[in-house]
């Protein structure tokens, strides 16, 4: 403005200055809401700022943290993916994306994201430790599924029992393992055990279609047609 004063530019500059003051005020409010653990309020303030400051990686990371706290991990992933692109060597974002996928039970996507982290820094301690865990689990699940395709149900059962030991902390993996073991038991004509295990899965996930189908097959083996 000082170098080239003119009415139009002055208006434009004043508008932008007012807007930037407003955004700074919203930013302070968002940080304060985050510190007070009012994550919903922080998200709506950050929505307003990010509508203007689209390329701000740190704000996206902050909003992702709020989404995680609010139990909306898939929304956090899209912010973290943007942050990973916007900031060079953003190992932290890849690590967090990989962890979220892992907690959601998507071990394959988790593995590919943690590999991205290690491409940037092969000595990254957290990523390396997560990589080892996910790779081990991934391999066991793949191997169990291979046994099922080959009709080697006993082997598949024992492999899925190993999966439950490998990851006892994240419930989705033991539920999925039990669902697949029930499938194997049903295929293996072990109806009573299949019914028991599928019922366990259905208490956790009443709409699990696979468990319903496998339990139905097991009921057929026992001539329990009504069930």
Q: 69-79 pLDDT, tens per residue?
A: 999 999 999 99
Q: What is the pLDDT of residue 13?
A: 83
Q: What is the pLDDT of residue 1?
A: 67
Contact 157, 125 (CB under 8 A): no
* Whole-number Å distance between alpha carbons of 68 and 79: 11
Three-class SS state of 226: coil
Q: Calculate ∠ Cα 170-176-189, nearest 5°.
A: 145
Return all residues near 76 (Cβ < 8 A) that are at least 6 apart. Answer: 64, 65, 67, 68, 96, 100
For the chain, residues with pLDDT lower than 70 are 1
For domain 151-226, the CATH class is mainly alpha
Q: Calculate ∠ Cα 101-102-106, nearest 5°.
A: 65
Contact 173, 105 (CB under 8 A): yes
Q: What is the pTM of this model?
A: 0.87
Crossing angle between the packed helical segments 209-221 and 191-204, to the nearest 10 degrees = 150
Contact 180, 144 (CB under 8 A): yes
């Amino acid at each position: 403005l000082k170098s080239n004063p003119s009415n139009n530019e002055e208006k434009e500059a004043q508008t932008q200055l007012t807007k930037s003051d407003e955004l700074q005020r919203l930013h302070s409010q968002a940080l304060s809401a985050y510190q007070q653990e009012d994550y919903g309020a922080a998200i709506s303030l950050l929505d307003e700022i990010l509508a203007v400051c689209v390329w701000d990686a740190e704000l996206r990371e902050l909003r992702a943290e709020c989404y995680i706290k609010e139990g909306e991990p898939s929304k956090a992933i899209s912010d973290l993916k943007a942050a990973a692109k916007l900031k060079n060597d953003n190992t932290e974002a890849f690590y967090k994306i990989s962890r979220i996928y892992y907690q959601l039970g998507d071990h394959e996507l988790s593995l590919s994201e943690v590999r991205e982290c290690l491409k940037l820094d092969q000595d990254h301690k957290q990523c390396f430790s997560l990589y080892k865990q996910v790779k081990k689990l991934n391999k066991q699940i793949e191997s169990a599924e291979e046994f099922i395709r080959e009709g080697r149900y006993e082997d598949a059962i024992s492999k899925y029992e190993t999966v439950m030991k490998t990851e006892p902390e994240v419930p989705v993996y033991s539920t999925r393992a039990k669902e697949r073991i029930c499938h194997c038991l049903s295929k293996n004509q072990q109806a009573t055990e299949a019914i028991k295990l599928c019922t366990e899965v259905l208490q956790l996930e009443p709409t699990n279609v696979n468990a319903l189908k496998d339990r139905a097959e097991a009921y057929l083996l026992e001539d329990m047609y009504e069930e």
